[in-house]
Structure 1
Amino acid sequence: MPDSANTPVRKSVRRLRWFKEAVQRQIDALSEQTGVKFSVDDKELHSLFLRWLESFEAQKPSEDGKKEDYVNFASGLMLRELINSKPARVTTLPDDADKSNPAYFWPEGYLYVVLCLNIRAAVLEQDFNIKKHVVPEMDEVRTWWSFKENMHEDPNLAIGFFDLFSGIEPSWDMPTIFSARKGRQVAVKYLVRSDNLLKVQSKIKLTKS
């Protein structure tokens, strides 16, 4: 993540310049590890950031007890805007790319999810002293197949899928309404963090239907 100096990450992420730098750093880290190269539409990035910020402010809770879960929800909102706007495009894919690996199966989607997970992780660690974040498996291509297919039907479900990728019970019926997120249950899993790329493991399996 970019240097926030003395500013908390939860506030820095609401600044366009910081957000753009975070996106570029994530692209650089992912490209180094996978060999996938991306181009980014700066105008789309700018527009989606403003839409996300408006959505973020609209439902922000005042109660302290709800702020931790709002970090999860706000990260899901960010993923939705990234999926909707598609600011990143693959320009180079390695010849030996294994499409059973989610990073190659859907490189753009993988980039967006990892970016949002990393921002979420930084805020949770700084504000709530949560160092071992609970996240589900990221290397199960059947999960990603379901995720990608559902985005064609309803991009709002990106919020529910982000919960799934975060180890939280998704709210599939009303994913865009924060007040509907009651009794979110966090699964006990673990995280391995490498630079700005998340590698996670769990027992969740989704199959094609």
Structure 2
Amino acid sequence: MDLRFKDELARMPDLRHRLRRLRWFRSTFRANASAITATYGVGYKIDESRLTAAFLDWIETLETDKRLASVDRADFIIFAAGMVLCELIRRNPATAVLHEDARPEAPQSLVTAEIIKFWPEGFLYTNYCVAVVAAVHEQEFDQAPALDKCADDLRVWWSYRENVREMPAYAVAFLDRFLGGEPNWIAPAHATSRSAMQRALNGLTPDKPTIGAANP
């Protein structure tokens, strides 16, 4: 994963609310794509109609769960990003374009470069959502979630791509995993089934069992 774009996002005031506006969503998504191109030499052709559709589908889905932001805001931010990722994968607005004359900036992570080569569109969508979570958490809580080492494991990305092709909602669970959280593999798109939400709703602390939570 490459989080250099996170710093650019974090400089935008009130990022959490800005990204709920189509103009800001589209511009930041394109900026993330440009950052990847500059660093790794992989360009992207972006279909604006598909990108807009992904945004509108996300907003509609999020509307039904927005009350949960007051239950556990930190976890809801991650869930919301996971739902963005789900819609981006489902609508697939980007197509990778390799520029033969590209001269990537140095240094670049060889591990990340391999992941991009394997699944350039999936990396773009995931890197954007991880950067958004990191930037919003820094603004809201002064600390970004720590990335799990599996985020740089190509074998995990193989599983990730295969699973989301069958069920895009698994993107939510994989994002949780990349961010060191507790994935809900049974109902990843149901916010109330998340372990953190279960604990908050039932007044439990993290070291106590949750009621009805799905096993990862």
Task: Provide the TM-score with structure 1 as the length reference.
Answer: 0.80
Aligned equivalents of 2:100, 2:189: Cα separation in 1: 36
SS in 2 for 1:176: coil
Give the structure with higher Rg (CA): 2
Counterpart selection for 1:141 from 154, 158, 161: 154
Aligned: 1:68 with 2:81: no
Paired residue for 1:83?
A: 89
The CA deviation at 1:134 is 1.4
Contact preservation (8 Å) 2:69, 2:76: no
Q: 1:113 maps to what in 2?
A: 126
Deviation sequence 1:73-123 (CA, Å, 0-9, x none) = 00000000000000000121669xx89811111010001000001111111
Partner amino acid, structure 2, of 1:141: L
Q: CA RMSD in A?
A: 2.6
Residue equivalent to 2:163: 150
Please tell me whether the aligned partners of residues 2 and 21 of structure 1 are also in contact (alpha carbons under 8 angstroms): no
Structure richer in helix, relative to its length: 2
Query: Which AA in structure 1 matches 2:82?
Result: G
Distance 2:166 2:10 in 1: 37
Tell whether the 8 Å contact from 1:73 to 1:159 is kept in structure 2 after alignment. Answer: yes
SS of structure 1 residue aligned to 2:67: coil
CA deviation map 1:162-205 (0-9, x unaligned): 101111010001111111112489xxxxxxxxxxxxxxxxxxxx
Counterpart Cα distance in 2 of 1:143 and 1:103: 13
In the alignment, which of 58, 65, 75 is matched to residue 64 of structure 2? 58
Structure 2 residue 22 is matched with structure 1 residue 16:
yes
Q: What runs of 5+ residues in structure 2 fail to find an aligned partner?
A: 1-7, 102-109, 200-216
CA distance in 2: counterparts of 1:35 and 1:53, whole angstroms: 32
Q: Structure 1's 62 and 145: CA in aligned 2 closer, same or farther, altered over 3 A? A: closer
Structure 1 partner of 2:105? none
User: Displaced runs of 4+ in structure 1, greater than 4 A?
Assistant: 1-6
Q: Which amino acid aligns with 1:123?
A: V
Q: Aligned match of 1:166 in 179, 187, 199? A: 179
CA distance in 2, matches of 1:63, 1:86: 27
Q: Write the deviation string for residues 37-88 of structure 1: whole angstroms up to 9, x where unpaired.
A: 1100000011110010111121013564411100010000000000000000
| Gap regions ≥5 residues in structure 1 | 186-209
Q: Percent identity?
A: 34
The equivalent residue for 1:124 is 137
- Give the TM-score normalised by the residue count of structure 2: 0.77
Amino acid at match of 1:177: H
